[in-house]
Amino acid sequence: MKDKRLGSIVSHNVLIAVLCIIWLIPIVWLVCMSFSAASNMNTSTFFPQEWSTKYYVQLFHSDTVNQFKAWFMNTFKIAVFTCIICTCFTLMVAYATSFGKFKARKPLMNVAVMLNLFPGVLTMIAVYFTLRTFGLTNSHIGLILVYSASSGLGYLICKGFFDTVPRALCEAARLDGCNEARIFAQIVIPTSRPIIVYTIISSFLTPWMDFVFAKMILNAGISENYTVAVGLYKMLDKSLINSYFTVFCCGGILVSIPIAVLFFIMQKFYVEGITAGAVKG
């Protein structure tokens, strides 16, 4: 009996290990390839034939194709501004829809649901026309606007959290003569630290993870203005892939590390936020 149980535990854990290995193969390959001594993709063996770190060095020496340092700074700059605007907008809308008692509240929320059904890519084309009319394509301001202007629509998770903030607390404050603005700033915000951390990190990550909008807005511009996503994508162009594949892997790893760290911090809040939002519909 005991042997049987032990056997089942071992097989159970072996199964998990096998799944994890399958899931990690491409990532391991990415790490291995970034330490390859050849510039092109290694197609004959899984591990590189010779190991070297020289492409990490090359990554930081800009040339006509590779401007990794500039891309990284661009993305960072865009991410900071996007993060500030998105966080403010999301919290503002979430507070108004959760605590507000005005007539247009429900209709506005229904309109938001409808608008969310239009995929971002789709409105993007029209936004692109508009930005081009004002000369904002190939500029970072245009991209920041695209990421953050409509962020008020993503208020649902945050509202789900605000709905759980005890109303008695706010009532007491109101009796003491607090106005809504003070309740928002001094009661609701301090008690909502988890959701604020989640909102900040997730909006900071948007420009790092996004590819479509960056490509659309910055595509025709000069290499120096790209974000990491567009820059790395261009490295895998058919004419460049043989000389830049390893550099791409190095860049991919370096950009993934900070993102992964933030992602792990956010992960906890992500689960809480999604499930809270799900329960509350």
Partner 1 sequence: MNKIGGAVAGFFRGIGNFFGEFFAAVAKGDWAVKLSLLVWGAGYAKRRQYVKATIMTALEVGLILFSVCFASQYVPKFGTLGTVQMAQEFNIETMQMEFNDYDHSFLILLFSLFSFVVWAVGLVVWMRNTVACYRLQQAAEAGKHINTFKEDCREYLGDKFHITLLTLPIIGIVIFTVIPILLLIFVAFTNYDQQHMPPSALFTWVGFENFKSLFSSGGMTVTFGYAFVRVLGWTLVWAFFATFTTYFGGILMSLLLNSKKTRAPRLWRTLLVITIAVPQFVSLLLVRNFFSNGGIVNTLCARIGLTGWLRSIGLISTSYIPFLTAPGWAHVMIILINIWIGVPYQMLIATGILMNLPSDQLESARVDGANKFQTFRYITMPYMLQVTAPTLVTDFVKNINNFNVIYLLTDGVYTTTNQLMANSQAKEVDLLVTWLFNLTQNYYNYKMAAVIGIVVFIVCAVFTLVAFNFLIRGDKEGVYQ
Q: Which of residues 125-144 bind partner 1 (CB under 8 A)?
A: 125-130, 133
Q: Does 118 interact with partner 1 (rule: CB under 8 A)?
A: yes
Applying CB under 8 A, among 67, 244, 248, 250 the residue interacting with partner 1 is 248
Considering the complex, what minimum distance in angstroms separates the CB of residue 64 from partner 1?
A: 20
Q: Does 120 interact with partner 1 (rule: CB under 8 A)?
A: yes
Q: Does 107 interact with partner 1 (rule: CB under 8 A)?
A: yes
Site for partner 1 in 49-78 (CB under 8 A): none
Distance in angstroms between the alpha carbons of the first and the last residue of the chain: 47
Q: Does 265 interact with partner 1 (rule: CB under 8 A)?
A: no
**DSSP characters over 106-138:** HHHHHHHHHHHHS-HHHHHHHHHHHHHHTT-TT
- The CA distance from 258 to 79, in Å, is 13
Applying CB under 8 A, among 245, 246, 247, 250 the residue interacting with partner 1 is 245
Residue 48 or 77 having the CB closest to partner 1: 48
If you count them, how many residues does the chain have? 281
Which pair of structure tokens corresponds to residue 173?
A: 């404050």
Applying CB under 8 A, among 143, 145, 158, 250 the residue interacting with partner 1 is 145
Q: Of 56, 57, 52, nearest to 38 (Cα)? A: 52
Q: Of 99, 89, 86, 83, nearest to 161 (Cα)? A: 99
Residue 190 or 281 having the CB closest to partner 1: 281
Q: Does 175 interact with partner 1 (rule: CB under 8 A)?
A: no
- How would you class 263 by CB atoms within 10 Å of its CB: exposed for 0-12, middle for 13-18, buried for 19 or more? middle
Contact 188, 95 (CB under 8 A): yes
Considering the complex, what minimum distance in angstroms separates the CB of residue 190 from partner 1?
A: 17
- Find the part of the chain contacting partner 1 (CB under 8 A) among 52-60, 62-70, 110-118, 187-195: 110-118
Which pair of structure tokens corresponds to residue 274?
A: 């999604």
- Find the part of the chain contacting partner 1 (CB under 8 A) among 56-64, 66-74, 94-102, 194-202: 94-102
| Count of other CB atoms within 10 angstroms of residue 191 | 15
Per-position x/- string for 150-169, each x denoting binding to partner 1 as judged by CB under 8 A, each - no binding: xxxx---------xx--x--
How many residues sit close enough to partner 1 to count as binding (CB under 8 A)? Answer: 102
- The CA distance from 278 to 165, in Å, is 17
Residue 41 or 70 having the CB closest to partner 1: 41
